[in-house]
Amino acid sequence: MECPACGYSLKEKFPLCNEHSVTYKRKTHIFSIYQCPECHSEFADPMKSAPPDWYSYMGEYYGWRWEFAEFLKDIKTLLHTGKVLEVGCGEGIVLNKLKRYDTIGLDFNNNAIEKAKAKGLKVYPMTVEEFSRQFPLIRFKAVAFFHVLEHIESPQDFLRNIKGFLDKDGLIFLSVPNPNRIRLVLSREDWDYPPHHLLRFSVNGLLKLLDRGGFKILKIKEQPKDLPLLHITSTVELDKFINRTMHIDVMRFGRLSRNVLRLPFFIPFNLVNFFTVMKTIIRHMGKSGTALYLVAQKEG
């Protein structure tokens, strides 16, 4: 078995984190999730990407992200003109702000592509591999891919294709879910499981992947805390915390039972859990926000 992030390999299987199953179109898919003992990244087995229509089913988010502002500031500083490619461009919210550059976007959500094209953007319904075969001579000064790497079956092959697109000293701008995000203090989000996310990068694993891919890190930055206290201590979070710490599946009791747990005579019970949550948060005040953002440069 080989870690898809750092490349560490063993003849036997890596430590198992947990099993995860998901039912989609009346078929149940079962994944094992392993952790690399070298870089501590986690990955799914099988490493099988979700079909394109999965993202419509999941309701993929195409709104503004914290790292978009970081990217727009950095690219204007590092690159004045030239061709720029965004992989996973969605509805073109970033491409639409790169007026000074010659831009191309790639995505496979047809609804998102149509919205991007309606803005006058040049977007293709292709994977990186398909684009490389169809346009082998196009070169870019920069390639951006935000929250894409964790969806990829072979991130090393993906970076090899990206590197082939880039001019000498070309730049990449990317983000992945931050392994140090405060949200994980309570529980892992539904979107951070396969087949939606095949990889959960550690910082070390991501740096080793980029180094193996022939990229030099220019910048790495964690998103500031983005989870308001009100949200952290909300009823839903409290339900999850009760489930995890006390093994009471509040959600399965139904609406009536959940409401009973919030009646005045249950206030002491809820307050105890509230303050337990608060103590947990205080112990993890060094945690950060959802995204980890990087800028790197092609070497060689």
pLDDT attached to residue 251: 47
**Nearest Cα to 150, choosing from 98, 211, 88?**
88
Three-class SS string for the chain? CECCCCCCECCCCCCEEEEEEEEECCEEEEEEEEECCCCCCEEEECCCCCCCCHHHHHCCCCCCCHHHHHHHHHHHHHCCCCEEEEECCCCCCCHHHCCCCEEEEECCCHHHHHHHHHCCCCEECCCHHHHHHHCCCCCEEEEEEECCHHHCCCHHHHHHHHHHHEEEEEEEEEEEECCCEHHHHCCCCHHHCCCCCCEECCHHHHHHHHHHCCEEEEEEEECCCCCCHHHHCCHHHHHHHHHHHHCCCHHHHHHHHHHHCCCHHHHHHHHHHHHHHHHHHHHCCCCECCEEEEEEEECC
Mean pLDDT, residues 4-21 = 93
Omega into 194 within 30° of 0, i.e. cis?
A: no
What is the number of other CB atoms lying within 10 angstroms of the CB of residue 123?
A: 23
Tokens 């095949």, residue? 198
Compute the chain's Rg from CA coordinates. 21
Higher-pLDDT residue of 101 and 235 is 101
pLDDT tens readout for residues 164-205: 999 999 999 999 999 999 888 777 888 899 999 999 999 999
- The string over 181-210, giving b where at least 16 C-beta atoms fall within 10 Å of a residue's C-beta and e elsewhere, is bbbbebeeeeeebbbbbbbbbbbbbbbbbb
Phi, psi of 153 (to 5 degrees): -65, -40
| The domain over range 57-226+286-298 is classified in CATH as 3.40.50.1100 | no
Phi, psi of 167 (to 5 degrees): -65, 170
Mean pLDDT, residues 285-289 = 72
Contact criterion met (CB below 8 Å) for 174 and 294: yes
**Nearest Cα to 239, choosing from 184, 181, 186?**
186
pLDDT attached to residue 257: 47
Q: In whole angstroms, what is the distance from residue 149 CA to residue 174 CA?
A: 8
pLDDT attached to residue 282: 56
pLDDT attached to residue 248: 53
Contact criterion met (CB below 8 Å) for 9 and 42: no
Percent of the chain scoring above 70 in pLDDT: 78
255 pLDDT tier (thresholds 50, 70, 90)? very low
Q: What pTM was computed for the model?
A: 0.82
Contact criterion met (CB below 8 Å) for 33 and 16: yes
246 pLDDT tier (thresholds 50, 70, 90)? low
Q: Order the strands of the 27-35 sheet from edge to edge.
A: 16-24, 27-35, 42-45, 199-200
pLDDT attached to residue 261: 47
pLDDT attached to residue 263: 47
Per domain, the residue ranges of the chain are 57-226+286-298, 229-283
pLDDT tens readout for residues 109-133: 888 899 999 999 999 999 999 999 9
Higher-pLDDT residue of 183 and 148 is 148
